[in-house]
Structure 1
Amino acid sequence: MTRDLAGEMDALKMQMENLQQLLQHLVIDKKSGMSPALPETHTSSVYYSGHAQLGDQGLRWEPQERRMEHLLGLNSEKASKVLAALGNKQRLDILRSVLHEPLTGSELVDRLGMGTTGQLYHHLKALLGADLLVQESGGRYALPHHRALPFLLLLAAVGDLLDTSDYMDMMETRNNAGAYLGKAQDFDIHHILWAVVENSILEHQAGFCSEIHLFLHDDGSITVSDNGRGIPVQALPHTEFPTVQSLFTDISRFNSSAPFQVPGAEKGISMAVVNALSHKLTVEIRRDGKTYRQEYRQGIPQSGLMTVGTSTDTGTRVTFKPDPELFGVGFDPEKLYARQQEYVTAYSNLNFMIHP
């Protein structure tokens, strides 16, 4: 969706009119000695407009306004029903598919990989009844023109809130730590350390990492540093988030392929799980001639991925402090040295060092 300059000018003109009325009231109130009061027209609003190309037809929407009191006063029950209906993955996929071009039922089945038409028509019936779909001549389904802008605005808003789904997963992971750490009464703090080390081991097995260093810090945190390729930093397709942020925040994407599995646990520990179970975490990446850094608190990014320097080396350095609410005891040097010997024995070409 491109900018609608005419609509923006109209919105700016309305704001200027409101500002002029406010100034007039302030002048009058000052002369009369009364306390300044806001005029009734000075009410917060949300303005929107734009145009979109849907298939071979262009649609344009004149500037629209929604008063803040109207938005905040929406019927919660009805609003939740709308969001729940659109929150169904298959229904959302159907609406997105027909947004660009009308499709028949069989075309939707093939495009969405539903296998049979029975499940499709169950959703089509619901969307048709809710006036979110229309059936055109030839049996093709399309998004009604008057629903296109609200649907696009909803997708735009969801795009701005996508990261919150990762953060909710983070909180659920913390509340369900036993699924990743086993059912022991006291979680072993070393499990999340070995999960981070395993990612460096994978780099070594792939032939890109010859050194792994562990640094213990006085505040209870620990650093795992390697000289591998460095975690990729480019943005993922169709998103503004770099690969490294997805690696450290997307629980569902990488959980199934997590390299470290605690005996008796239901799920493996990925880097995102380590992040969720840490009070704070910092990742520093050296690759492509630059040094990048990003910090997290309880799994939530505190900044974007920042370029903080240059480097001729490559590798990844992860510093994290396990959450003391989950882990009552710190790292045990004896366990660290014992695991060091296991790695040295298993990987003769790996330099694995511990720095107390």
Structure 2
Amino acid sequence: MAEHRPPPSVLLAGGGTAGHVNPLLAVADELLRRHPNARLTVLGTAEGLESRLVPEHGLPLAVVPRVPLPRRPTLDWFRLPVRLRDAVRAAGAAIDESGAQVVVGFGGYVATPAYLAARRRRLPVVIHEQNARAGLANRLGARWARSVAVTFPGTSLRGAQVTGLPLRAPIARLIEQRSVDREGTRAAAATELGLDAALPTLLVSGGSLGAVSVNTAVAGAAADLLASGIQVLHLTGAGKADAVRTALVDVPGAERYHVREYLTEMQLALAVADVVIGRSGAGTVCEQAALGIPAVYVPLPIGNGEQRLNAAAVVAAGGGLLVEDTDLDPAWVRTHLPVLLVGDAAAETRERMGRAAASVGVRDAAARVARLVEAELP
């Protein structure tokens, strides 16, 4: 008589930002594709992005208290033991109730209690680190994790293996669509965005919050950009559009400079973009590289320097340019962007940069991480 095996059960822990939630959902999708009967539970907070995105994705969300790990001594140090104890207890309850056989962590506030609760139960832990410079939670969890997956070469975690970044479903679909009909995909996206598919297109995006320095530099060079005959799609970030629109007053060709605060369907912008200028968050770099889009990366000038590291491999391969935030001004934009967008030489340069970016881009990272999880299932 054939042995009846219960469906696999996996707890995925990650939240707070899109950088943690998007890879988590991509791996969840891949696990369900491989194991349609799998029981997946997501561990998150009530405040983070996951509180909306996970239920929208059709997955159950188990909530744990948010436990920030202070980087320097503050009053939060004295509150940490009690907060962490409560969070570990909640994470343990989620593991027990779901019957999880493996815990998969993506970093962030939620991951630490998940790792500690899993360790107490002697459950295998699989970690994915999004950024080139690992966060505190994953540095802790990697000490006893069975597998540690990283997005970028050179990430310093014990036992790290490079898998790349699991791509969001809309980006994975765009890659497939472009492989079948690149020009048709571009034309359809241009129509939806109100753009001209025949014009060279510069996409400006500073991330979900926008980037004032990027906005100011590109808008300040609008007259020269438009005089070259290109069109611009500028995603300014919430509350930052008016300053860009003001810079366009009386500029000839301003009807080809399209300003939006944000775009939910970012895959449409990437489908039509010939060159992108913006920040170098891990998700941004990995998506653009996987799509083979030439880019100008402007690392965030604050934080731990991870954005510079995120872009390093693509820039080294010749798939992008890196410019410091302090060096980016309208004069830099006038000098460096039109030559990437206008003329036969520009097209050849973009083709070369696109191939270079794609050479370091990873398209099957979700499958790679899913295989690590499968290896730990009983």
Question: Is the structural similarity TM-score above 0.5?
Answer: no
Task: Give the structure-2-normalised TM-score.
Answer: 0.27
Higher relative CO (CA 8 A, sep ≥ 6), structure 1 or 2? 2
Greater Rg over alpha carbons, structure: 1
Bigger strand share: 1
Task: Give the structure-1-normalised TM-score.
Answer: 0.29
